[in-house]
Structure 1
Amino acid sequence: MTETIATTRWRALDRDGEDKCRLAHHDGGYMLVGHARFRDGAGWAALDYVVRINGDWQTCSADVTGTHAGEEVALKLTREDGAWTLNGEAQPQLEGCEDVDFAFTPATNLMPLRRLPDVGRLTTRAAWLRLPGPQVSPLDQSYTRERGTLVSYHAEQSDFSTQLVIDPSGFVATYPGLWEADA
């Protein structure tokens, strides 16, 4: 049985676009189901995604389907015993990754944010999926919460840092310059 825990809708701040996402209990863990629609430098995208998450808030598998820049997208990332595959092909470069990070949505920040203590720091490695491509590589991330809903975020490989505002369900409410949740 699937029970919805939270829903959110973001609007893109740096381009035309929106993303709608639902978090649900599912099979002893969780599931994110989302629908991202946006225009980027490659053209329009209509992407649906499902991320299956275990009870410890770590990614088990993720699917992305739809279109991006006029091309069909059908991707399945799977993590089993620490080993990752993309559409059935081994991805040894992703060894040590606990999560997925889809570059096109703030939804996938949820898993590490749910593991982040009320005060403290979390470092994690994510399987970073970018389009077009697909390109998938490790992304070392750190999240630091001093108190409340403000979380410092840093992505090592892209040398990107920002201050995220988190809502009570753990979703990003404000991703400065990129995404903002509807009130």
Structure 2
Amino acid sequence: MREVRWASEEGEGIEHLAFDARAEGFFVESAVVGQRYGKGYGLYYRVHCDPSWRVNYAFLKVAGGGEVELHGDGEGHWRDGQGQTLKAIEGCIDIDIAATPYTNTLPIRRLKLAQGERQPIAVAYIATPDLQVTRVEQAYSCIELNREYRYEGLFRSFAANLKIDDDGLVIDYPTLFTRLPRTP
């Protein structure tokens, strides 16, 4: 198990994430203290992926607020914590939690893009701090294999080149997140 931290570049905020790679998949547990739309929040989340980086479980809880639980089958079918089918995110394999750079790791690793390759995908986007889950369009491109990828939020006309480490965890996400400790 390893632990990493990111600082928000948008305002006050920090995340502490525990990452565990096991034979049966990838497991994270994290706490985020952040600010969005001028309001502070605390977020706890857990995400489990199978060995192919497909999300099969996600749980998010905002301190003093709501929570959401998602169960995926790795084929794009989702249920909530009560077992209800979530048709709005049907076909999505990945999730994107707005408050963290961690969820960029999921499609980067799962897609296994060749250098120069680009892949548009639909993801289950989880807004923070209201935890609304919606389907959005994104794309990833491999700039330098296992080192740098381009993220495109097609649903909001945003793009950034992300540098990653050997585990696929983001080191630098320009304008949004920086890994701690900061290196010159």
- TM-score scaled by length of structure 1: 0.87
Name 2:166's counterpart in structure 1: 168
Name 1:144's counterpart in structure 2: 141
Q: Which of 72, 75, 86 pairs up with 1:79? A: 72
The answer to whether 1:128 aligns with 2:125 is yes
Aligned counterparts of 1:108 and 1:171: Cα–Cα separation in 2? 9
Q: Which of 101, 104, 107 pairs up with 1:112? A: 107
Structure 1, 95-104 or 26-35: larger mean CA deviation: 26-35
- TM-score scaled by length of structure 2: 0.86
Task: Tell me if the contact between 2:20 and 2:27 (Cα under 8 Å) persists in the aligned partners.
Answer: yes
Aligned counterparts of 1:133 and 1:17: Cα–Cα separation in 2? 17
Aligned counterparts of 2:170 and 2:106: Cα–Cα separation in 1? 11
- Structure 2: unaligned runs, 5 residues or longer: none
Give the partner amino acid of 1:108: T
Task: Tell me if the contact between 2:41 and 2:129 (Cα under 8 Å) persists in the aligned partners.
Answer: no
Aligned counterparts of 2:66 and 2:23: Cα–Cα separation in 1? 27
Name 2:20's counterpart in structure 1: 24
- Structure 1: unaligned runs, 5 residues or longer: none
Q: Say how many residue pairs are matched.
A: 176
Give the partner amino acid of 1:7: E
Name 1:97's counterpart in structure 2: 92
3-state SS of paired residue (1:90): coil
Q: Which of 6, 9, 12 pairs up with 2:8? A: 12
Task: Tell me if the contact between 1:112 and 1:122 (Cα under 8 Å) persists in the aligned partners.
Answer: no
Give the partner amino acid of 1:18: I
Aligned counterparts of 1:131 and 1:51: Cα–Cα separation in 2? 16
Name 2:43's counterpart in structure 1: 47
3-state SS of paired residue (1:114): helix
User: Deviation of residue 86 (structure 1)?
Assistant: 3.1
Percent of residue pairs bearing the same amino acid type: 24
Shift of the 182–96 alpha-carbon distance from structure 1 to 2, 3 Å rule, reads same
CA RMSD of aligned residues (A): 1.9
Give the partner amino acid of 1:75: V
User: Deviation of residue 150 (structure 1)?
Assistant: 2.2
Give the partner amino acid of 1:79: G
3-state SS of paired residue (1:30): strand
User: Deviation of residue 82 (structure 1)?
Assistant: 3.2
Aligned counterparts of 1:142 and 1:118: Cα–Cα separation in 2? 14
Q: Per-residue CA shift, 1:125-145, capped at 9, x if unaligned?
A: 211000343321112221111
Aligned counterparts of 2:176 and 2:26: Cα–Cα separation in 1? 26
